[in-house]
């Protein structure tokens, strides 16, 4: 597909031009009058329905994405919502340019580097940190969506809220996945401690509601009506803002989030980070996302497997795992909020550095030990201690509209049900637990340590792939905490290199090659792959993580979409002119 023969030099020049120009150009003045085929893929069929409703009404990809996310915040509240944040990429078909939008939460002004240490100076229990006011950052999802809508929306802002308001008012069935989350002991014990969450998701005896229960959320509907009328201001002043602050400052483990914090931060436009990959260009989010590691995996894999064979080939899987180990080692050591610390974001995916790192790859054996590289010199390498972090409660949706524009949106509230504190009908995030709990490691500061107004490192990797000429090829992304990086890279390789149908590529077994023991789904691999890797010294273990990949591919015969079979997502299609 799209196997163009443009020279590598011309392609690299185009990619470098994109880095300086893709982010801020306005939408084109004219568009085709006849809409072509459109598609939406998201984690719940009701969100897909909302997206299609906007597309039928003449809306574009951004309109559809906003309507879908507002529904997702209602029907899968464990994953994302208006109390959290996200990253969005927009592809403009007329200009063939990509814009980036950053809605990552920020720490309050009162945040401290040692705020997640106990009295003994040790990291507190993760669940205690999560279910607290300390973990709550300033929500920026709605403000980010409004910024994207101002730039690229076609329908009135208020129109986008109608599907979610109807569901919240009239009621919706609790899905099996949400019901399963409610039954998890780590959620059930703590979630019921919040009065609003208990009243909303548990019966009068305190038992979690079963799948199929019809629930309503009038408070969420009221919040959406306020945002529809007032825009993001409804979340930074007035009764909704007051309720967020009250929830954050409530004990135990009260946080410092206040009204001044809510008013002090804004979303950002950013230049997408792009990498030439074979005959494609792959673009994703910039810091504080560490999605450059997704690009690094692809770049290293390309060097190790210039002519890949396919999903059943042991060398291809070994190359992917090696690339993952190397990319994650660099990610954990260097990546953080680039406004606060120097991050070698582009140096980590520079061709010469990828060439250097790829020389370590030996497909005949697993690595004994992998250390971070030095893409920007020894001084920066020795400045930091490496730190691990997660962001588990996340969703992803992919949209292509009838004009050929596209959105890749990954949104999150961090862990399941975020901080497990509700305000005005929605859950607040626990994004600050994405910071390193330890501000120093082995006597060195950690790049991703907590600081006032700082954004925690993220793994969200909304991704858009074009061909060398700038034509749209693929829209993809996933939830899954730090595993997102590997999920998106593996699925992209499956589609572009192994030539799998999109549904097969998403359903293929994941493998997070971050640590010595690979967390994997070998039962989803082709026969013989696991044995081949084991014979080369790879230790394969089970995974507790789960992807939620949603992707749309542009093919000569039309759009090909898929939803991750591990979840409850779906794909919806509109025919040309519909």
Give long-range contacts, CB 8 A cutoff, 24+ apart: 4-11.
4/279, 4/467, 4/468, 4/469, 6/279, 6/468, 6/469, 8/276, 10/468, 11/276, 11/281, 11/468
* Phi and psi, residue 440, nearest 5°: -135, 150
d(CA 72, CA 76): 5
CA distances (Å), 120 to each of 5, 111, 114, 124, 306, in order?
Answer: 61, 19, 11, 10, 51
Query: What are the tokens at 467?
Result: 């061909």
HEC string for 56-80: HCCCCHHHHHHHHHHHHHHHCCCCC
Per DSSP, the three-state class of 445 is strand
Residue among 294, 343, 345, 394 flagged as catalytic: 394
Cα 40 to the center of its chain, rounded Å: 17
Query: Token digits for 422?
Result: 């509700």
Closest to 107 in 3D by CA, of 76, 132, 135? 135
DSSP character for 122? S
At residue 389, what are phi and psi to the nearest 5 degrees? -150, 165
Alpha-carbon torsion angle 468, 502, 568, 407, nearest 10: 10
Half-sphere exposure of 169 (CA within 13 A, CB side): 11
Pairing of strands 511-512, 472-477: unpaired
φ and ψ of 103, to 5 deg? -115, 30
Count of residues in the chain: 578
Q: Tell me whether residue 394 is one of the annotated catalytic residues.
A: yes
Q: Where are the alpha helices (DSSP H) in 95-217?
A: 126-130, 141-152, 162-170, 176-183, 185-191, 195-201
Q: Contact 558/564 with Cβ under 8 angstroms? A: no
Cα 503 to Cα 267: distance, rounded to the nearest angstrom: 34
Is the Cα torsion angle 54, 151, 553, 288 positive or negative in sign?
A: negative
Which residues are CB-neighbours of 132 under 8 A, at least 6 positions away? 252, 253, 254, 255, 419, 430
CA separation for the pair 153, 132 (Å, rounded): 36
Query: Rounded to an integer, what distance in angstroms lies between the CA atom of residue 233 and that of residue 389?
Result: 31
What span, in angstroms and rounded, lies between the C-alpha atoms of 373 and 330? 6
Neighbours of 2 (CB within 10 A): 18
Read off φ and ψ for residue 549, nearest 5 degrees. -65, 135
The answer for residues whose C-beta is within 8 angstroms of residue 186's C-beta and 6 or more apart is 127
Catalytically active residues, by annotation? 394
């Amino acid at each position: 597909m799209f196997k163009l023969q443009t020279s590598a030099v011309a392609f690299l020049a185009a990619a470098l031009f994109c880095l300086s120009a893709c982010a801020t150009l306005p939408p084109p003045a004219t568009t085709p009058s006849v809409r072509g085929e459109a598609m939406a893929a998201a984690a719940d069929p009701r969100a897909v329905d909302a997206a299609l409703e906007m597309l039928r009404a003449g809306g574009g990809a951004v309109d559809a994405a906003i309507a879908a996310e507002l529904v997702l915040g209602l029907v899968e509240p464990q994953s994302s919502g208006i109390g959290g944040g996200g990253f969005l990429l927009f592809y403009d078909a007329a200009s063939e340019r990509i814009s980036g939008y950053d809605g990552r939460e920020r720490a309050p002004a009162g945040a401290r580097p040692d705020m997640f240490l106990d009295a003994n100076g040790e990291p507190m229990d993760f669940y205690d940190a999560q279910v607290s006011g300390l973990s709550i950052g300033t929500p920026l999802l709605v403000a980010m969506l409004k910024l994207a809508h101002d730039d690229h929306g076609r329908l009135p802002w208020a129109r986008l809220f109608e599907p979610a308001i109807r569901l919240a008012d009239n009621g919706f069935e609790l899905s099996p996945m949400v019901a399963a989350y409610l039954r998890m002991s780590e959620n059930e014990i703590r979630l019921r401690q919040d009065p609003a969450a208990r009243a909303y998701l548990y019966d009068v005896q305190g038992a979690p509601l079963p799948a199929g229960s019809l629930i309503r959320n009038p408070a969420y509907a009221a919040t959406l009506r306020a945002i529809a009328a007032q825009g993001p201001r409804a979340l930074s002043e007035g009764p909704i803002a007051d309720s967020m602050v009250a929830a954050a400052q409530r004990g135990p483990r009260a946080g410092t989030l206040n009204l001044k914090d809510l008013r002090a931060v804004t979303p950002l436009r950013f230049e997408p980070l792009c990498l030439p990959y074979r005959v494609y260009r792959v673009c994703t989010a910039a810091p504080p996302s560490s999605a450059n590691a997704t690009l690094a995996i692809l770049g290293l894999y390309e060097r190790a497997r210039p002519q890949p064979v396919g999903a059943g080939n042991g060398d291809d899987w070994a190359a992917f795992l090696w690339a993952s180990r190397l990319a994650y080692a660099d990610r954990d050591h260097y990546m953080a909020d680039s406004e606060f610390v120097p991050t070698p974001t582009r140096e980590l995916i520079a061709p010469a550095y990828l060439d250097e790192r790829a020389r370590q790859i030996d497909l005949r054996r697993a690595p004994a030990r992998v250390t971070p590289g030095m893409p920007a010199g020894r001084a920066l390498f020795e400045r930091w201690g490496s730190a691990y972090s997660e962001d588990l409660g996340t969703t992803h949706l992919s949209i292509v509209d009838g004009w050929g524009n596209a959105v890749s949106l990954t949104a999150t509230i961090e862990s399941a049900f975020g901080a497990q504190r509700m305000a005005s009908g929605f859950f607040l995030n626990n994004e600050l637990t994405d910071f390193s709990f330890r501000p120093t490691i082995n006597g060195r500061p950690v790049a991703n340590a907590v600081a006032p107004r700082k954004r925690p490192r993220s793994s969200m990797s909304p991704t858009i792939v074009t061909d060398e000429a700038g034509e749209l090829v693929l829209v993809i992304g996933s939830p899954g905490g730090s595993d997102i990086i590997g999920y998106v890279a593996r699925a992209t390789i499956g589609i572009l290199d192994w030539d799998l149908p999109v549904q097969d590529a998403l359903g293929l077994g994941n493998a997070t090659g971050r640590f010595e023991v690979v967390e994997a789904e070998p039962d989803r691999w082709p026969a013989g792959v696991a044995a081949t890797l084991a014979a080369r010294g790879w230790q394969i273990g089970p995974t507790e993580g789960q992807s939620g990949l949603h992707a749309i591919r542009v093919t000569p015969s039309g759009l090909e979409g898929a939803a991750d079979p591990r979840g409850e997502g779906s794909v919806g299609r509109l025919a040309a002119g519909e």
